[in-house]
Amino acid sequence: MSEMISFDSATFRRVLGHYPTGVCVVTAVEASGAPVGMVVGSFTSVSLDPPLVAFFPAKTSSSWPRIEAVGKFCVNILASDQQPLCRQIAAPGPDKFAGIVHRVSANGSPILDDVVAWIDCALDAVHEAGDHYIVLGRVVALEVDRPERPLLFFQGSYGEFSLIA
């Protein structure tokens, strides 16, 4: 039984836009050797035992099916000064990684240079959730590379967290 919805998608987006999210780039390497990546603002920890994380790609994403086919990925938590990198990965185009320096994790996924932290995962499960998927990753390795302030998305804009002493 579905309930009557008394709001539109613009209202939903506007209200939830008042909740800040971190910005991450999910990366993988396709069988051809080409890196693939997508920007997500929906990354979260799920479980300590087993160690699981999740993110929620749109069903319309052209990058997600390519990452899913690889079966493993790395979540790169962007720093507040990495907005240009974020915009480059988010933009449509054939070579999103042009000029982006990265190394390859032991699991085979790109770890972007100068990220706050990275979480290397094996694809654990994918569930449908409306117009998105819930992707669960089983963490195989993780580390903090640069303990700086993360890039945040809030009310339609990028920004950073301000520490109060």
pLDDT digits (tens, 9 = 90+) for 6-56: 888 888 888 888 888 899 999 999 999 999 999 999 999 999 999 999 999
Please tell me the predicted confidence (pLDDT) of residue 2.
62
How far is the C-alpha of 18 from the C-alpha of 96, rounded, in Å? 29
What per-residue confidence (pLDDT) applies to 50?
A: 97
Task: Give the CA angle between residues 101, 148, 116 to the nearest 5°.
Answer: 40
Considering the domain boundaries, does residue 36 fall inside one? yes
Q: What is the CB neighbour count within 10 angstroms for residue 141?
A: 14
pLDDT average, residue stretch 137-155: 95
**pLDDT tens column, 59-72:** 999 999 999 999 99
Distance CA 81, CA 88 (A): 13
pLDDT at 162 over 80: no
- Collect contacts of 43-48 with beta carbons under 8 A, ≥24 apart: 43/75, 43/77, 46/136
**What's the CATH code of the domain at 47?**
2.30.110.10
For residue 120, is it within any domain? yes
pLDDT at site 15:
87
Query: What ranges make up the beta strands (E) of 49-131?
Result: 52-55, 72-77, 102-104, 110-112, 117-129
Number of domains in the chain: 1
Pair of tokens at residue 131: 């117009």
Peptide bond into 94 cis (omega under 30): no
The DSSP result for 29-47, as a single string, is E-TTS-EEEEEES--EEEE
Q: Examine residue 86 and state whether it is found in any structural domain, yes or no.
A: yes
- Which domain, by its residues, includes 119? 22-95+102-153
Per-residue pLDDT at 154 exceeds 60: yes
Q: Residue 143: inside a domain, yes or no?
A: yes
127 domain residue, yes or no: yes
9 within domain boundaries: no
Q: Which residue has the tokens 């790169």?
A: 76
Predicted confidence at residue 16, as pLDDT, reads 81
Rounded to whole angstroms, the Cα distance separating 54 from 124 reads: 10
Q: Enumerate helices (H) and strands (E) in the chain, giving the number of each.
A: 3, 12
Per-residue tokens: 76: 């790169």
Percent of the chain past pLDDT 90, that is, above it, reads 78
Inside any domain, residue 6: no
What distance in Å separates the CA atoms of residue 120 and residue 108, rounded to the nearest whole number? 9
Determine, yes or no, domain membership for 14.
no
